[in-house]
Each structure stands twice: as C-alpha cells, then as structure tokens.
Amino acid sequence: MKKILFIQRLLLTILLVSCIKISSGFAGQSTSYIINPSAISSGGIKSSSANNSNLTSLGLISFSNISSSNYSGLSGFLVALAIAGDTIPPSISGVKFDGREVVKNDFIKGDALLTAVVQDDTGISLEASGVVIDNNTVSFSNFVSPASYDATSGNMAYQLSLTSGSHTIQIKALDLNNNSSTYVQTLEVDTGEIKAVSAFVFPNPYNPNQGKAKFAYQLNRDANVTLYLFNEINQLVWQRSFPAGGNGGQTGYNEIEWDGVTDFGEQAGNGAYFLRIVSGGKVISKVKVAVLK
C-alpha cells in the first residue's frame, strides 16, 4: 500500500514538474509580444485595449511575465493555451498615403505619410512586424519619430522617403502565434514634368439629366490644374481651376464632378466635347466626353 501511495506521489510530482517545465519553456522565448492582460478571459483573447505608449511599456508581456506575475500558474497556462489556439492573422486596414487610399501603380509623393491600422487580438510582434520598402524592412520596434505605432489603437504612421521610380511598399504584421498578414502595393513616385494619366469621364456617354459626370485622372505630382471643356468646334463651354495639393491638383487620383451646365448657364447639348487637363499652360491630358440626353 505504501508502495502504491509512493508511486502515486511520484507520478503527481512528475506531472507537476512537467507543467512547470512547459510554462518555463514558453517563458524562455525571447520574442516580445503585445498582449493585453485584461483581454484574457475564459473565452479567449479579445481586442487590445492596453494603454501603452512606447515599446518598453506597451503592455508587452512575455510569457515569463505571464507566469511570474498576474498570470502565473494555471492562469498563465490558460493564456498560453488561448494563444496557441489563435489562427486568425493580424488585420491591416485603412492603409492610406497622405490620407488617401491608393491602388496599384498610383502616383504618390516621395515623402508621403503612410498610415494604417495594424491589429491583432493576441498581440503584434514589434520585431517581426513593420514596413518594408523595396525589401528594406523597418520594424515597429525600430520606428523612430515621426514614425509611430500605437499598440492600443493599432495606428501606424510612417513617413516615406522615396526617390522617383516604382516602389513596392509592404506592411507586414505577425501576431503571437506566428499568424501573419501582409499589405503589398506597387506605387509610383515621379517628381519630373507634370503629367496626367488614366484620364476618363464617367459615365460616357453622360446624361446631364441623370446626375453629375466625373472627370478622373492621375497626377504624378501636385500642380495647379485647370480643366477646359470645349465643344465640337473648339469653343470653350466650361472651365475650372484647382490649386496644387487639393482635389483636382493633387498627386495621385483626382476626381472632379461636372453637373452638365456650361459657363453660359445652359445645360450642355447632345454632342461631342473635349476635356483638356492643363497645367502650366500645357495640355497634359485629354478626354473625349459624349453628352447624350
């Protein structure tokens, strides 16, 4: 009987030691993760709400922290289990350049401010997450002001410094469980002579009785721009000017609305019209506009 009792104690001891070993093993990991202790519940890990402002006090807790402080023992073990069950990658949303969304091959300014929201319920690896510009990685942990990453809100800001040419810009995010997300965009920086590309009107043909037409175009850089609309015998019927930096004169996508009324106070008649996008006295793009009521 004593033998049996001894064996039971021995097995229990082995089990406890094993648990402690497991916990210690997690705590031994060197990578830091962002995690919000208050988010830990029996249901798993919820969105972060930690109030941390810098990398050293971001609420970063390693599993050693978990085991040694508030989440030692069984709690820490449950946290580990919760993290281990996370298969959802971080979210990267609201990516903007100078406050504007972009699509592939858009023009941006070389010093555009890249902003995004990078979040994950389990936390973001500051070392493994960051911005990648043409294969040059700058991790969140190495962000230097004005670059910033706020773990609480997930807001990220990074001032680009790009030369003219095509650039691949990525935002990579890795969470505690090695789930990763990547935002990739190829964009253009062109500080050369002003030009407008991808110039269109929508709809085409345009019916002034059914709303406004949209004149859309891409500028390679900020510039003062004037739009001229001529009729089929080259008589000017409408014009508008837009200062550099604002809609109509800003780098990238511009969209100007036209209500179909000419500068003569009349609704444009059916026929062909020719839009000229002009900057510095030079026509940088043209669009053929059909009006059909």
Count residues contacting other proteins (CB under 8 A)?
46
Q: CA angle, 93 as apex, 170 and 171 as ends, to 5°? A: 15
- Residues 77, 63: Cα–Cα separation, whole Å: 9
Site string for other proteins, 234-263 (x = CB under 8 A): xxx--x-------------x-x------xx
Task: Based on the shown chain and the rule CB under 8 A, indicate whether residue 191 belongs to the binding site for other proteins.
Answer: no
Q: Give the burial class of 74: count Cβ atoms within 10 A of its Cβ; 0-12 exposed, 13-18 middle, 19 or more buried.
A: exposed
In which residue are the tokens 């269109």 written?
A: 200
Task: Based on the shown chain and the rule CB under 8 A, indicate whether residue 99 belongs to the binding site for other proteins.
Answer: no
* Chosen residue from 5, 99, 136, 232 binding other proteins by CB under 8 A: 232
Q: Which of residues 100-129 bind other proteins (CB under 8 A)?
A: 101, 103
| Tokens encoding 224 | 């003062």
Q: Contact at 8 Å (CB) between 39 and 152?
A: no
Residue placing its CB nearer to other proteins in the complex, 22 or 272 = 272
Task: Based on the shown chain and the rule CB under 8 A, indicate whether residue 96 belongs to the binding site for other proteins.
Answer: no
* Chosen residue from 44, 89, 245, 269 binding other proteins by CB under 8 A: 269
- Contact partners, residue 182, CB within 8 Å, separation at least 6: 92, 170, 171, 172, 173
**Residues within the interface to other proteins (CB under 8 A):** 101, 103, 198, 200-205, 214, 216, 228, 230-236, 239, 253, 255, 262-272, 274, 276, 278, 281-283, 286-290, 292-293
